Structure 1
Amino acid sequence: MRVLVAEDDDTLGAVLAQGLRSRGYVVDLVADGESALSYARCYEYAVAVLDWLMPRVSGIDVVRQLRRTGARTPVLMISGKGAPEDRVAGLDAGADDYLVKPFAFDELLARLRALQRRPPDVLPPRLVVGDLEYDPASREVTFGGRRPALTSTELSILETLMRFSPAVAERRQIAQHVWTDEVDTFSSNTIDVHLARLRAKLSGSRVRIQTVRGVGYRIVADNGQRLAVP
């Protein structure tokens, strides 16, 4: 799952990025609002964490511009401005949640999980394909009463496929959602290796991960048939 973090405090930005990456997120870290807008135009983010006071373009103006263009990315605004009128201004600008500095990292994680659960029309609480269910907030996968042991990378690939299902997720789209350096990943066989392992771990589920040659992959319900491992 790809997250945008825009924070001009180098120390705080590094701490947030490291903490999120250790929990399976793919993080793009930028230090100003102009860069945040540039990244938001290039990638589809599950969540964006934006500091209010940033150089070039403020976090609140980033939110306003995103909403004017129709972007529906859930936004958590972080700021040292904690007065009620500041919170109101941030939320009215289009932020989905507001967190005052200093804050506990666990609280930030909890708020991100809450944003991933709402609203249902943007990010469904649970993704379902066939008998396979995935909860983005808990990162728990189940099928047939089983909980396969998936790596963080495999979970991110699976989530990407399930969000695109029944459409095809292109190789470049998978790389962008799962790896920080998507260019190197896209041009290597890294995706294929992880997909082979994911298929094996989902053996016995009622889904199939299909290879669309020259394009990418898609996950579909298998009408009760067991998944064949290549």
Structure 2
Amino acid sequence: MSLPSKAFQRWLHGVAPDASTSDVCRASGLKRTTLAQQMVRGKVAESSLVRISRALDVNPVAALASFDSYADLRGTPVPPTDAELISQIATMDLLRAVIARNDPGAPQHFELAAAPHETSVRNWVDAIDDGELRHRVSRATGIAPQNFSAHLSANRMPPELAVATAKEAGVGPAGGLIACGLVSPEEAGWPRGARRAALDRLGTAELVALAGERLQALGKSLHRQEHERNRTERIWENLG
């Protein structure tokens, strides 16, 4: 679901009444032709709004919340759960933490990689899923369960689906926007250092188990990629 171009124009006039389209595109790094095409189609991408918001020093989440389709983002930011915070920690950082806790000679303090990471979307959904989340999201949005699963496998999710998923899970509406890379944790109101604090609160046994689950999932993904690569190579060989 993109943003209606007329509503976008009203928003832009409200936050930058004296700025021309050229000014906005130049400041945001967005191609003028790209924005023009979106305006002609009547649908402006959320990613375009976010880029323009940042260029104008407007919080992207607040900008999205000004549109009716993202009304769930309005109000005081809802604090993330520890499970959500940890879902946005990269697998390699979890492994570093495991080593640090079990080897006094290993570096005990290291910088966490920025969110999102390569499995952020799937990890976020797994962190908030009570076992029935996919079914509730399917009923609420009309998305087929297999299509929802396809988004998770590809580690991407449309912003409106991310917000709807958070709503059905009963967590803060901006968490999914972080997982899909649309906004940063700070822009969504997550406290600075919250991911590290959640990691430090995680018990060692839980940490090891989680790292093991992540590695197992990574292994399956790599096997699939290898299978697809071999299959493609065989097809090309048969084609001569």
Same fold (TM over 0.5): no
Q: Which has the larger radius of gyration?
A: 2
- Using CA pairs below 8 Å that are at least 6 residues apart, which structure has the higher relative contact order? 2
The TM-score, its normalising length taken from structure 1, stands at 0.25
More strand by percentage: 1
The structure richer in helix per residue is 2
Compute the TM-score of the two structures, normalised by the length of structure 2.
0.24
